[in-house]
Structure 1
Amino acid sequence: MGGDKRLRGEGQVRAQIEAALLAQRGSLIGWVPVCLGVGVGTYFGLGSEPDTFVMVSLCCAGLAAMVSARLVPTAFAPLLIAVALALAGVCAAKYRVTSVEAPILNFRYYGPIEGRVINIDRSASDAVRLTLDRVVLARMAPERTPARVRVSLHGTQPLAGFTPGDVLILTGHLSPPAGPAEPGGFDFQRHAWFLQLGAVGYTRTPVLRLDVPDALDLGMRLFAMRMAISSAVQEAMPGEPGAFAAAIMTGDRSGIGQGTLTDLRTANLAHLLAISGLHMGLLTGFIFAVVRYGLALIPGVALRWPTKKIAAICALCVGAFYLALSGGSVSTERAYIMVAVMFVAILLGRRALTLRAVAMAAIIVLLWQPEALVGPGFQMSFAATTALVVVFGALRRFDLSGLPRWTRPILSVVLSSFVAGLATAPFAAAHFNQIAHYGLIANVLSVPLMGALVMPAAVLAVCLAPFGLWGVGLWLMEVGLRWILFVAAAVSSRDGALGHVWAPDWYVLPLLSLGLLWIVLVTGRGRLGGVILVAAAGVFWHQTERADLLVADSGSLIGLQGADGRILSKASGNGFVAGIWLENDGGPVPQAQAAGRTGLHIEGRVTEATLGGWRVLQVAGKTALAELAGCAGADVLISNQVDAGIRPCVVYDLARLRNTGALSLNVAPNGDLLIDTAHAVAGQRPWNMRQGDLPAPIRLSLAQRKRAADATLLTQNQTDQ
């Protein structure tokens, strides 16, 4: 009897599980990009690169899961397909990494640099940057030369004379792409890998034109056209409005000043600069509406031709040209894929704005550019689009005919801005450590004008350009852009316009994303699971603790976490790293202000930090290091010089820091000192050129305070160096 009851109970549980799974079949397409994303994210989170045998095994396992899905009950088949899709995501990411492989500079280079101009933009310090391909470096074999390098130009440079495709020669400094500024931080090396950017640097000497090619390929002709249009727009519309107009028309943002960028970011209007979903949607939507309603005015055409499909084809073609003209950045490519899916749905007689269309666009992006998953652009654009589709889809069930007609567009703009802002806020906070408190107001005052005036005026300017009348369109654009810039300046100047948050642990954002997707895709009471995941992500984010002490990979800067924020060891120098630390702490104050806080003992070129009884010395310069007797009683010694001696403490000199990358030091609850390294967290991957064993984290216990007698510690210190 007991056995029969147990079997009946198990059968009931199985039946309930099957019923719950079958109830979700209507939204299974939405889980396809989620499963692919799990595989892609897993690949990028690995601590070492999977070899060929592992990848072949994963592919075989994925095929086996797909075959097995046909042999199990219908309700359980999606679970096996989900496993196969996750493994497919791993394989897609691995293939992408292999397909873009290019040489990376593995030393610091100074000398002549030759290359062809393929991009012009500006750095964070407002310096003009040139991206060069067909690179030639002195005494370097072609197979070891980076495919592309990026050089910032300092000093007086003859920029006006350069055109896309020019072969330039200059004398400059190059170095490999830098690793994370702190363990677990943004990995620029991985970002540069997918751009095939093998070296970055700067020059202070004049850049000279070596050759002007007689013929350009299609890509360079488009680049030349883009820069010519940008130059003409800025000439016809001087100042920041002209630079803004050039950015949204061609993707060239090199003319925009840092002050304007800061205002736009503070007001949460920086997305208006990037040619992304908003611009592509506004442009193609405007073309679709003009063509469709224009054809509807011709009775013979409207009655006999499929005007809606013709308009969709025209919008697709215009969008493709806009994509090519703007340089084909990742955000623009992603935006075009999304609108292309929408217009293809129209061609097939399907509803355009659905979760199915969003899922199809995400699938295409993840298979084509898997690395987009870990970037803020992918996460924010799909979060906003998904939220808008869900909310406006839900509103269809309500009768809003009682509202005055004139209020509907206003409510639509306010609601869309609110929903998109709310959906993207956690991702913007996690990636950029800031929250624009007045972003909704700024978007409500700016986005409608962008769609109703600026983008249509841009189309009008292009249409009138062959007749020499594009000034009419540009004047209308300038009116709208000046208003947007005014709103950005007014909002950003208000007290409390920008709030700051600290960077979450690595697992918080995936957990939050999965929870939000769970709420959207799961039907019935199962949505409660998504709410629990979102709440857990919020708790974990709140409990995230920043490192007690951070050390730059140059050994020249340390930052101690104090009661009032991070205390820096110097007021200038290593400014980029210092800025990242302070932003990730949620307190981006000027470096000089952070250096003025009390908590570090600085005497000459020696800085002392105390962490729970552990002493850390940072020594700058050869003279100070040579004058130091032993470790001067410190447990850890940091130096920006190479130290050839053996000292009775853990030493991180310049040579060892090049192997470990940036450091984080934390005191454990039991009093142990934990030292982690950026390279250990990043793992042994193709983009960071790690060879041999990774530098292991160190744990110093209180029993190791007598360093001179600790032969094991000294041995490890010598081995790592």
Structure 2
Amino acid sequence: MEGVMTVAGQSISNARGGEGGQVFHAVEAALLRQRGHLFPWVPVAMSVGIGGYFALRFEPTLAMLPLIALASVSLAFVAWRLRSGWAYLFIVALLVLAGFGLAMARAHLVAHPVLEWRYYGPVEGRVIGLDRSSSDKVRVTLDRVVLTRIPPAKTPDRIRVALHGQEGGAALTPAPGARVIVTANLSPPGGPVEPGGFDFQRHSWFLRLGGVGYARTPILMIEPPDGALMLRLRMALSQRVQAVLPGETGAFAAAIMTGDRSGMGLGTIKALRTSNLAHLLAISGLHMGLLVGFVFAAVRVLLNLIPPLGLRLPVKKIAAVIALVAAMGYLALSGGSISTERAFVMVSVMLLAVVVDRRAISLRSVALAAVIVLVLRPEALLGPGFQMSFAATVALVAVFRWLSGLPRYEGPAWVRGAATVVISSAVAGAATAPFAAAHFNQLSEFGLVANLLSVPLMGVLVMPALVLAAMLMPFGLDWIGLQLAGSGLNWILGVAHLVAGWEGTRGAVPSPDWRVLPLLTIGALMVVLWQGRLRVIGVLPVAVAFGLWALTSRPDLLIADNGGLVGVLRPEGRALSKARGSGFVAQNWLENDGDPVGQPEAASRWLASELPLRLRHVTGKKTVANLTCDPGEMIVANADGPEDLPCEVFDIKRLRQTGAVAGYFAQDGKLRLIFARELTGNRLWTR
């Protein structure tokens, strides 16, 4: 430790006495001016370390964790002894190391068996999750899994099966906690559908999903529900709500109250997404904030209406504690998804700040919430929920802090309230728009209009009515609150379908280069968090980020990792080799291109266009087994082809090694290929 301190001290002394002394003092002075405003940078530094871990193409050995701990202690000691502006840089290094170590430890803590091959046969397990797949089928998550011919040590902890053979609606939906059996096709979680795309393997690793698939036969219950009490309560409440409010309105109310979206139709979900109202469907910061705000205000008003209590008790703190209990109940009832956990952490920090007489809403409280989320779930950093939630919150706090310094408006209160709603929606929409566009490849042109027509109603009618329904449910009078909420939800659904039907509502956006979001985030945080004139430097990385996005080029060639689909970029858009099959891959390719067309239309381009390379897509085991080709051709096949062909072949055998393939034409006309497994590397979730 002393040696480290000595080296650090000598380096700083040399810098002070050298030619760069003035620069040294200027940097140190700039750091010291940030004193008192540095805590919001803590989650930023941690995020750099977490992002660094996930960006690696190899898996660090566990032996690195003690080294990281030792290095962190050394950096903390140096920072403590320096007692100058430069100590902050050592603290930043410490936080980066801490983030890296947290992500690494978390990845090993959730380690679990993953299927090593495709499996077809009986699948037995306990129901612990119910939702809907992208094909609008009921999807069940099972634990305590038993698979024929697979030993327990290699059996996944959890699997997820889409029930394509389950007809008859909710009556045949498996009961939460029940032990069931079904004949299913399972496979390991797949990698990115294209190099650099969303990594479902990594996502599944942290969900402890070791296999995914589908079943075309009905699912059968072999034991009655046992355990999974909260899930059973959620589903019972969901069924009760949908019994009182039938149709999409009831399904919407159930999703808000319990997180159960299994009753929502794809058409409604699509309308909500297109109109930028999908955030009303997910239990996130808005719902938690509205619930807590209503309970806090209601308790405070009720206590103040009783003078002996209002005058003698700390009403504000009591209201905060009761609101926190309500938030805990909402978290447990909603299933505790990552987005709900994040929202709970944020409102908990706010309410506890009220209890200890601190400012409830500030950048420090937002930063504390981010630190807690990153410590508990470092992988959340990579998800759109974390990024959009904290982007909106930081932007709102910063903007309203700036507005608070302006002369106070003395006009009618309703004007001030309306302006607050407009400003909040505009700021939150602008802050989250780049992240939504990057992750979901769309911008809602009229999203602000839809939110202005819907969000206020959510706060003043829907959430209070749902709280009332929950309070009246033990007495059988919940229909009163549900009917009130239903009227508001009908309005919101009407707005969603109306706005989604307007021409030009949905703007398609191509996926950006991987550097865009980090640059954009760092630049925006520099503008918001840094104190002083140097904050304008943050505009530069933001401008560079948007420039890179505008110059992003999509692959000229894409090959699916199972050889089932090929896509070639043409002037009119991507041409696909098949009009049906591999629908999930096709949808993702077209969305990433920013090309809002269906697979059949994209397939017609293949038939009508002359492809820019000698490429053939061959399907069927028998056809592929007898395959022949000429030198200079490229063959893509969905089965194992013959050995030693004179052309370049991407068959199943090779695609198992490469994963999905992307190709870019160079200026000399040669095709440069990039393989998904080169980018994902040898990680815990790819082995």
TM-score category (smaller protein): over 0.9
Conserved 8 A contact 1:562-1:599: no
Q: What percent of counterpart residues are identical?
A: 54
1:156-181: CA deviations, max 9, x gaps? Answer: 44652532111001111111111100
Compute the RMSD of aligned alpha carbons.
1.5
In 2: Cα distance, 1:41 partner to 1:119 partner: 29
State the alpha-carbon separation in 2 of the partners of residues 673 and 62 from structure 1.
Answer: 46
Letter in 2 for 1:512: L
Contact 1:599 1:609 in 2 (8 A): no
Unaligned runs of at least 5 residues, structure 1: 1-5, 602-607, 690-721
**1:687 aligned counterpart, secondary structure:** coil
Note the 1:505-524 alignment, pairs <5 A: 505-524=513-532
Q: Which residue is equivalent to 2:11?
A: none
Unaligned runs of 5+ in 2: 1-15
In structure 2, the partner of 1:304 is 312
TM-score, scaled to structure 1: 0.91
**1:152 matched to which residue of 2?**
162
CA distance in 2, matches of 1:338, 1:359: 9
1:673-712 correspondence to structure 2 within 5 Å: 673-689=671-687
Q: TM-score, normalised by structure 2?
A: 0.95
The answer to whether 1:192 aligns with 2:191 is: no
**Runs of 4+ with >6 A deviation:** none
SS across alignment from 1:182: coil
Give the whole-Å Cα distance in 1 for the aligned partners of 2:304 and 2:26: 54
Q: How does 1:8-157 map to 2 (within 5 A)?
A: 10-157=20-167
Deviation string 1:83-112 (CA, Å, 9 cap, x unpaired) is 010010000001111111111011100111
Aligned to 1:646: 644
User: For structure 1, which segment, 273-282 or 659-668, has the greater mean C-alpha deviation from structure 2 after superposition?
Assistant: 659-668
Aligned residue runs from structure 1 range 519-538, under 5 A: 519-538=527-546
1:63 maps to amino acid: V
SS at match of 2:37: helix
Give 3-state SS (helix, strand or coil) of 1:117's partner: strand
User: Could you report, residue by residue, the CA deviation over 1:310-352 in whole angstroms, capped at 9, with x for unpaired residues?
Assistant: 0000000010010000000000000000000000100110010
* Distance (Å, rounded) in 2 between the aligned partners of 1:157 and 1:591: 26
Question: Aligned-pair distance for 1:617?
Answer: 2.9
Shift of residue 130 of structure 1?
0.6
CA distance in 1, matches of 2:632, 2:64: 45
> After the TM superposition, which residues 274-673 of structure 1 pair with which residues of structure 2 at under 5 Å, given as runs?
274-598=282-606, 609-611=611-613, 615-629=614-628, 631-673=629-671
In the alignment, the residues of structure 2 paired with residue 658 and residue 10 of structure 1 have an alpha-carbon distance, to the nearest angstrom, of: 55
Q: Give, as a single letter, the amino acid of the residue that structure 2 aligns with 1:197.
A: L
Give the secondary-structure state (helix, strand or coil) at the position aligned to 1:25: coil
- Distance, in Å, in 2 between the alignment partners of 1:143 and 1:156 is 30
Q: Secondary structure, in 3 states, of the residue corresponding to 2:413? A: coil
Query: What displacement does 1:46 show?
Result: 0.5
Shift, 1:302, TM fit: 1.2
- Distance in 1 between residues matched to 2:81 and 2:611, nearest whole Å: 63
Give 1:600 shift: 7.2
Per-residue Cα deviation, 1:432-464 (whole angstroms, up to 9, x for no partner): 010000000000000000000000000111111
SS in 1 for 2:80: coil
Aligned AA (1:624):
T
What do residues 651-686 of structure 1 show as CA deviations (whole Å, max 9, x unaligned)? 221111122111001122344321111111111111
Q: Secondary structure at the match of 1:596?
A: helix
Counterpart Cα distance in 2 of 1:403 and 1:17: 46
1:207 aligns with 2:216: no
The answer as to whether partners of 1:664 and 1:677 remain within 8 angstroms in 2 is yes
Greater mean deviation of Cα atoms: 367-376 or 458-467 = 458-467
CA distance in 1 between partners of 2:556 and 2:645 (Å): 24
Instruction: Report SS of the residue matched to 2:432.
Output: helix
Asked if the contact 1:569–1:600 (Cα under 8 Å) also holds between the matched residues in 2, the reply is no
What CA distance in whole angstroms lies between the structure 2 residues aligned with 1:462 and 1:230? 12
Q: Which residue of 1 aligns with 2:257?
A: 249
Q: Alpha-carbon deviations, 1:5-36, whole Å to 9, x = none?
A: x9686332222111111111222001100000
CA distance in 1, matches of 2:392, 2:110: 30
- The amino acid that maps onto 1:135 is V
Match of 1:239 in 2: 247
After superposition, the Cα gap between the structure-2 partners of 1:9 and 1:597, relative to the gap in structure 1 and judged at 3 Å, is same
Q: Residues 630 and 646 of structure 2 are in contact (CA less than 8 Å); yes or no, is this contact kept in structure 1?
A: no
Partner of 1:703: none
Q: What is the CA–CA distance in structure 2 between the aligned matches of 1:257 and 1:522, rounded to whole Å?
A: 45
CA distance in structure 2 between the partners assigned to 1:57 and 1:8 by the alignment? 33
Give the Å deviation of 1:411: 0.6
1:527-553 C-alpha deviation (Å, 9 max, x unpaired): 122100100111111111110100011
CA-CA distance at 1:581 after TM superposition: 0.3
- Structure 1 residue 304: Cα displacement: 1.2
Q: Is the 8 A contact 1:147 1:197 kept in 2?
A: yes
Q: Distance in 1 between matches of 2:662 and 2:69?
A: 37
The residue that corresponds to 1:711 in the other structure is none
Q: Are the equivalent residues in 1 in contact too, given 2:512–2:549 (CA < 8 A)?
A: yes
